[in-house]
Amino acid sequence: MESAAAREPRGAEASRPAAPPPSPSEPPAAPRARPRLVFRTQLAHGSPTGKIEGFSNVRELYAKIAEAFGIAPTEILFCTLNSHKVDMQKLLGGQIGLEDFIFAHVRGETKEVEVTKTEDALGLTITDNGAGYAFIKRIKEGSIINRIQAVCVGDSIEAINDHSIVGCRHYEVAKMLRELPKSQPFTLRLVQPKRAFDMIGQRSRGSKCPMEAKVTSGRETLRLRSGGGATVEEVPSEFEEEASRKVDDLLESYMGIRDPELAATMVETSKKTVSVQEFARHLDSVLGEFAFPDEFVVEVWAAIGEAKEVCG
């Protein structure tokens, strides 16, 4: 179909003054700048709302939050999204929805507990904040740690037998705890998050927390990377979410850690491979420091394959 302009009489077309040619000295039009990504944030125990921007990894994020509230970055233990509670379902990992509200949980009281390892497993699942602090993400019902009321989900593990573990990754801390001898008492120095009045007395298990209304409705997230800049990406697909969940479950059962970002990286790596042998080689090249055992890699490959079949 002809446009209205094409149907106009040629006389009308001729009567219009011709547009002047662009001056050769004029610079080309600048590309449209990407809108600034500004996030709202509060301290979880209570504070005014601050605004932060210009970060590309977790350490930079913590530095921006610290600057907004006039505290040291090392005061921040971890962050949750859209909830001020110590809710491990809403823990900030490697992705932030563009409309998410960030709550920073800062250092509260320090406590020491003595534990006697009467079984191989303590019943702890460890994660870390990506900036030097490992903390408790889950406590198994009926476990050794479950019987010690002073230990709570969200507590940061600062030292084992007075040996500081600040700066250690979650898998290193989990390995230290696994290797402690049985029947011999040891001491944990813990730092609990500073709590608001409505959180005092809370001792969550970390896996069955009531879900609050989610603030975000956008379909994009800011992906934070330990190496390289942050990128804006579409939210994970159904397959990526299911596969990452399965891999995270395997990380917990094999290594005593939970790390959704690590699980997502493994799923992403699997997309570039066609066999378990190639997958293992790629994992060694990008995640060699974990030294994953062969049987674990095989199970991860199978779990990702199952997720692919379920999600189509």
Rounded-to-integer distance, Cα 209 and Cα 156, Å: 19
Per residue in 72-93, pLDDT (tens digit) is: 999 999 999 999 999 999 999 8
218: nearest Cα among 39, 58, 55, 43: 39
Rounded-to-integer distance, Cα 305 and Cα 312, Å: 10
Three-class SS of 187-199: EEEEEEECCCHHH
Three-class SS of the chain: CCCHHHHCCHHHHHHCCCCCCCCCCCCCCCCCCCCCCCEEEEECCCCCCEEECCCCCHHHHHHHHHHHHCCCHHHEEEEEECCCCCCHHHECCCEEECCCEEEEEEEEEEEEEEEECCCCCCCEEEEECCCCCEEEEEECCCCCHHHCCCCCCCCEEEEECCEECCCCCHHHHHHHHHCCCCCCEEEEEEEEECCCHHHCCCCCCCCCCCCCCCCCCCCEEEECCCCCCCEEEECCCHHHHHHHHHHHHHHHHHHCECCHHHHHHHHHHHCCCCCHHHHHHHHHHHHHHHCCCHHHHHHHHHHHHHHHHHHC
Per residue in 45-77, pLDDT (tens digit) is: 999 999 999 988 889 999 999 999 999 999 999
Range 1-30 average pLDDT: 47
Per residue in 282-294, pLDDT (tens digit) is: 999 988 888 899 9
Amino acid 261: pLDDT: 84
What band does 175 get if pLDDT is binned at 50, 70 and 90?
very high
pTM beyond 0.75? no
Range 202-212 average pLDDT: 42
